[in-house]
Structure 1
Amino acid sequence: MMIIYKFSDEQIKQVHQLYQEVWWGKERTFEDTKRCIQGSQVCIGILNEKGRLIAFTRVISDFIYKAIIFDVIVSENYRTQGLGQQLMSLVKSHEQLRNVKHFELYCLPEMESFYRRFGFSTDIDGIKLMRCVNA
């Protein structure tokens, strides 16, 4: 397996294909995927032995106080092989992110136990997520 941090057009297509495997990514277009990758400060991919992208995540950060982890995806055929754990370890040990004070992410309730293994908690001193729709 090989770790990548820069993505060719072909690999961006493969990221888009990974989005199609998860319910929350099915409506993303290829163009959205490309812009998403270009707008993220850190992107990490894992390639299989044939050079095919099988896992992906991206991070937006100020590199001091906050780093928000997005889109932790492992291809359906490669789940339960530790690739999600590997992605999380790569994020937390990434040279540009090592000194960030807080990592944050969104997850479904069924994923909480996975992220707790990396020190994530829902106990954030009463802070609430707020959102508005951009019309």
Structure 2
Amino acid sequence: MDVKIITELKEKHLTQLMELYRQCWWAQDRNLADVKVMLRHSRPFGLLDPEDNLIGFTRVLTDGVYKALLLDVVVDREHRGSGLGNVLMGAVMSDPEMKEIKHLELYCTEEMLPFYEQWGFTADLGNLHLMRRTPSPGV
């Protein structure tokens, strides 16, 4: 399938992004207002089909030099298994700004490890551990 890579989403793509998020257990509770804020603070990469529909998406948070965090890699369920995840990852990896980042990082579920390992990611981080702080209710 012929796809186009975009780094800015049009208004119609926001609705389509919300549909993509509804297909993912980790993003089903996102709302449009919050997603618009998120996009202002992220570097988006989208995949458009020939009819200008958003069928794949990811975003990057970065300081531009040392660290970048790849988030929200998603392909429309009707197109999964067709190689579009690789197209999306290729767009990120070949982006001139991303090529210069010292550490591109992500987190994923165990079943996605082989997909990301083919792109050079590793879960072997020595003594490093993922940590998370979630605000307590009322804080």
After TM superposition, the score normalised by the length of structure 2 is 0.93
Query: Shift of residue 74 of structure 1?
Result: 0.1
After TM superposition, the score normalised by the length of structure 1 is 0.95
1:39 aligns with 2:45: no
In structure 2, runs of 5+ residues without a counterpart are: none
What CA distance in whole angstroms lies between the structure 2 residues aligned with 1:106 and 1:6?
24
> What residue number does 1:127 align with?
128
Specify the SS of the correspondent of 1:97: helix
> What residue number does 1:5 align with?
7
What CA distance in whole angstroms lies between the structure 1 residues aligned with 2:20 and 2:35?
10
What CA distance in whole angstroms lies between the structure 1 residues aligned with 2:16 and 2:29?
15
- The one of 14, 17, 20 aligned to 1:18: 20
Specify the SS of the correspondent of 1:103: strand
Give matches, 1:1-135, under 5 Å: 1-40=3-42, 42-135=43-136
Give identity over the alignment, percent. Answer: 37
Contact kept, 8 Å, 1:69 with 1:103, in 2: the verdict is yes
What CA distance in whole angstroms lies between the structure 1 residues aligned with 2:39 and 2:83?
23
What CA distance in whole angstroms lies between the structure 1 residues aligned with 2:86 and 2:36?
25
Specify the SS of the correspondent of 2:71: strand
Query: Shift of residue 134 of structure 1?
Result: 1.8
| Structure 1 residues 73-122: Cα deviation after superposition (integer angstroms, max 9, x where no partner) | 00000111111111111111112111111110010000001000001111
| Structure 1 residues 44-94: Cα deviation after superposition (integer angstroms, max 9, x where no partner) | 101111111000000000111111000000000011111111111111111
Moved over 4 A (4+): none
What CA distance in whole angstroms lies between the structure 1 residues aligned with 2:96 and 2:121?
20
